[in-house]
Amino acid sequence: MNWLDLPVIKKAQGIIQLPGSKSISNRILLLAALAQGVTHVRDLLASDDTGYMLKALAKLGVDITQTGENSYRITGTGGHFKVKEADLFLGNAGTAFRPLAAVLALMDGHYQMSGVARMHERPIGDLIDALRKIGADIAYLGHQGYPPLQINPVTLDCGDIRLSVKGDVSSQFLTGLLMALPVTGKKAVIEVTGVLISQPYVALTLAQMRKFGVVVEHVAWQQFTLPAHQYYCSPGDVRVEGDASSASYFLAAGAIGGGPVRVQGVGSESVQGDVRFAEALGKMGACVRMGTNWIESSCPHAGAGRLPLQGIDLDCNHIPDAAMTLAVVALFANGVTTLKNIASWRLKETDRLAAMAKELKKLGAGIEEGNDYIRISPPQNGLTPGAAIDTYDDHRMAMCFSLAAFGVSVRINDPGCVSKTFPYYFEQFKRIACFEN
């Protein structure tokens, strides 16, 4: 059966231990593989995306041993992979594909990189253009500007490295360059053209690089300087904090369903930008509390068919993934909710802006879709029951729309797509949900 029927949920309450952050997990795996020394990684996210990174690194000759549930021992290569020829398949894992492509482009091997059909529709041309300007030899095996790729040995010029990359398409391009350039040992300066989107994800990259001994100087998030002769060195033990994007679904459930719902594994000390989703819920009228390693949400006015929250007008550049959750929360808010600066949604696992608009309409919402915004008006007479929500092989679509069950029964098509980042999501969701009899 390739669907999941969720009956109406009348209340949400409980405690959830979050899985490890996808963004941190794949960054740490790559940095540990490039570092000098042995890294013990604990609380790694177990998902399709991290699985693709682990398999790719193993193919490249990295010594990886699983030492426990979600724990790994990784022997670093000192910046030079042993295997010089490999064919790597990365599924639809952008957090694995883009940084690994940048790293391999600055090495001396022959590598092919590919993914699922959707990955071959996700642009990578701006990253490849930047790498080619400093001597990388990369060919497109399909359409220009898109994977799959053929990567051949690099020919670096003498002297310092200077390059530029667009900041308004995907922050993963800048992340890839930042993570890759230390393997050259050269001083490097990256200029970002345009407005840098998803800035917190770049901050996350810099934080993980610091753990491995590489410090990047930056000016106003437009110029990044890596001093020469900085190499990755293992910090020994690294623990992955909980996933702030995954926290958004449970925190939203607490706000819509009364709560309290507490997520453990992420809090006020988090380095993830999506932790600020809690601020957005607070602006909508939820009661949000936070500790160093937990966040809790509730709403005393929820229930009895009321719309407990208030619509908001929000620039979502700082929470691009968690903003999807707000789009469904808007169904339970009085007034119109406008989510802006979300053009990056169109370049993700699916065209999330178009997909979100289409599925929200199935529930009776009034929708205005722009190039980089969505405006949502909740239906005046309640949500349309029995809608079958298509998920487009996109984990976040499936998890977001589970929240619609706080208003009506809903069917989630292809619920297994959550395995990309949170294989046991629906089991965890049902733990906090009190369904109507």
Q: What is the CATH number of the domain that holds 94?
A: 3.65.10.10
Is 251 in the same domain as 176? no
Catalytic residue list contains 372: no
Q: How far is CA 49 from the centre of its chain?
A: 10
Q: Are residues 429 and 298 in the same domain?
A: yes
Residue 230 included in any domain: no
Residues 13 and 30 both lie in one domain: no
**Are residue 16 and residue 31 in the same domain, yes or no?**
no
- Is residue 214 assigned to a domain? yes
Same domain, 202 and 263: no
Nearest Cα neighbor of 435 from 248, 253, 310 is 253
Q: Which of 194, 225, 256 marks a domain boundary?
A: 225
Does the residue 232 lie in any domain? no
DSSP state of 351: -
Picking from 190, 225, 260, the residue at the C-terminal end of a domain is 225
**Residue 169: what pLDDT?**
87
Structure tokens at 144: 């220009």
Report how far residue 140's alpha carbon sits from residue 145's, in angstroms, rounded to the nearest whole number: 7
- Residues 239 and 197: their CA atoms lie apart, in Å, by 27
- Whether 146 and 120 have beta carbons less than 8 Å apart is answered as yes
Secondary structure (3-state) at 218:
strand
Query: Residue 234 domain-assigned?
Result: no
Biggest CA pair distance of the chain: 72
Write down the pLDDT at residue 302.
66
- List Cβ neighbours of 22 (8 Å cut-off, separation of 6 or more): 45, 47, 49, 50, 95, 243, 245, 421
pLDDT at residue 1 in the model: 59
Catalytic residue among 126, 274, 321, 394, which? 321
Which residues have CB under 8 Å from 53's CB, separation 6+?
Answer: 25, 26, 29, 30, 90, 93, 95, 96, 100
Tokens of 251: 């925190």
Instruction: Give the closest residue to 47 by CA, choosing from 24, 14, 73.
Output: 24
Q: Which of 256, 271, 373 is nearest to 315 (CA)?
A: 373
- Say if 296 falls within a structural domain: yes
The residues pairing with 219 across neighbouring beta strands, listed in sequence order, are 223
Of 199, 225, 251, the one marking the end of a domain is: 225
- ∠ CA 33-91-118, rounded to 5°: 135
Domain check: are 14 and 154 in the same one?
no
Q: How many domains is the chain built from?
A: 2
Query: Can you give the pLDDT at residue 308?
Result: 78
Residues 273 and 203 sit within 8 Å (Cβ to Cβ): yes
Question: How is residue 326 written in tokens?
Answer: 């707000």
> Cβ atoms within 10 A of the Cβ of 269, count?
11
Please give the full DSSP string across 43-104, using - where no structure is assigned.
S---SHHHHHHHHHHHHTT-EEEEEETTEEEEE--TT--S-SEEEEE-TT-HHHHHHHHHHH
Q: What are phi and psi of 329, to 5 degrees?
A: -55, -30
Q: How many CA atoms lie within 13 A of 137 on its CB side?
A: 11
277 to each of 101, 251, 304, how far by Cα in Å? Answer: 30, 9, 26
Question: Do 43 and 151 reside in the same domain of the chain?
Answer: yes
Distance (Å, whole) CA 357 – CA 362: 9
The token duo for 364 is: 């009776």
Same domain, 189 and 282: no
Please, are residues 289 and 244 in contact by the beta-carbon 8 Å criterion?
no
Residues 168 and 73 in one domain: yes
Quick check: is 343 in a domain? yes
Which region holds residue 185: left if phi is over 0, alpha if psi is between -120 and 50, else beta? left
pLDDT beneath 50, residues of the chain:
304
Which residues span the domain enclosing 154?
A: 22-225
Residue 282 and residue 276: Cα distance in Å, rounded? 10
Helices (H), 212-340: 244-256, 277-283, 323-329
Same domain, 99 and 215: yes
Instruction: Give the DSSP letter of residue 195.
Output: P
Q: Across the chain, how many H-helices and E-strands are there?
A: 12, 26
Q: Is 66 exposed, middle or buried (0-12, 13-18, 19+ CB in 10 A)?
A: exposed
Integer Cα distance of 389 and 414 in angstroms: 9
Asked whether residue 383 is domain-assigned, the answer is yes
- Note whether residue 235 is domain-resident: no
CA neighbours within 13 Å on the CB side: how many for 187?
Answer: 5
H-state helical runs in 313-424: 323-329, 352-362, 395-401
Q: Are residues 357 and 287 in the same domain?
A: yes
| Whether residues 383 and 399 fall in one domain | yes
